[in-house]
Amino acid sequence: MIWVLLVILIIILIIAFNSIKIVKQSEVYIIERLGKFHKVADAGLTIIIPFVDHVRSVVSLKQQTMDIPPQGVITQDNVTITIDTVVFYRVTDPAKAVYEIQSLKKGIEYLAITTIRDIVGKMDLDDTFSSRDAINDKLRVILDEATDQWGCKVDRVEIKDITPPADIRDAMEKQMNAERNKRALILQAEGERQSAITLAQGKKEAAILEAEADKEAKIRRATGEAEAIKKVAEARAEEIELVYDAMMKAKPDEKLVQLKSLETLKEVANGEANKVFIPFEATGALGSLGSVAEVLKDKKGKE
């Protein structure tokens, strides 16, 4: 009797173990009943009928990555390059991902390889290096449309590396070096030209400033000399006016005037000029002095 109970207990445990399934988060179970799709079991506790229901597959709903093996691709200008790609995808319909294709990963891989060859085969070598973003977008759109029937969504495609042949790589490096040297020479020539222009402008501005300074100095010098002459003339005029006023106040007679004229004539004769011009009034005074001298001689003779 005890053995029978033990056997029954073991059977119950086996049935319970096969009946109770715990589905993890971000996973689903594909349940088949009698070999036919029955349901998709979400995360949590799931009860199935032993020997009738069967877990066909466990499908992850997380975003997954898949490295596409490096592929040799011929560009439009007949250059063979190697492209390394990675695809980011996630399952949106677990049932389609299991039943619509034999292997989802293999399907995405083969589709990505053929699409890359088709896209890059229509581009030149230079375009493949400068148009990575465009290639990534085209790959993503084509793969997303093709894998939609498999219950899969392609979120992103990235080209990790593009490797040209060794001889092409050497030629590209030489070309880049030549371009760098060319840009360096252009920049150097531009710098020298700008320096020459700046130097010429500086010399021009310096010459202009020097000419303006010389002009200003001459103007100020002439203005100063004119001002000095004006002041000397004003001083002489004031001096003459003072002398004239003094003479008028003294009420000089004719002999005093003649005597002053003679003193003035003497100062003029002692000057550095080669010729002496005697005013008309001075000649009259000299004549009068001559008459005075004759009168004095007559008086001495009589005595």
pLDDT of residue 275: 45
Q: Assign 123 to helix, strand or coil.
A: coil
Average pLDDT over residues 51-74: 88
Q: In what order do the strands lie in the sheet with 53-60?
A: 36-41, 27-33, 53-60
Is residue 47 over pLDDT 80? yes
Mean pLDDT across 161-171 = 77
CA atoms of 15 and 11, how far apart (whole Å): 6
- pLDDT tens, position by position, 207-231: 888 888 888 888 888 888 878 787 7
pLDDT at 270 > cutoff 70: no
Nearest to 115 by CA among 88, 89, 87, 143: 143
**Do 98 and 31 touch, CB atoms closer than 8 A?**
no
Between these two residues, 246 and 165, which has the higher pLDDT value?
Answer: 165
CA distance 41 to 34: 16
Question: Quick one: pLDDT at residue 240?
Answer: 67
Its pTM surpasses 0.75: no
Task: Answer yes or no: is pLDDT of 90 > 90.
Answer: yes
pLDDT in tens, 228-248: 787 777 777 676 666 666 666
pLDDT of residue 264: 57
pLDDT band for 166, please (50, 70, 90 cuts).
confident
Q: What Å distances lie between residue 43 and 27, 29, 150, CA to CA? A: 6, 8, 22
Q: Average pLDDT of 111-116? A: 90
pLDDT reading at 269 higher than 60: no
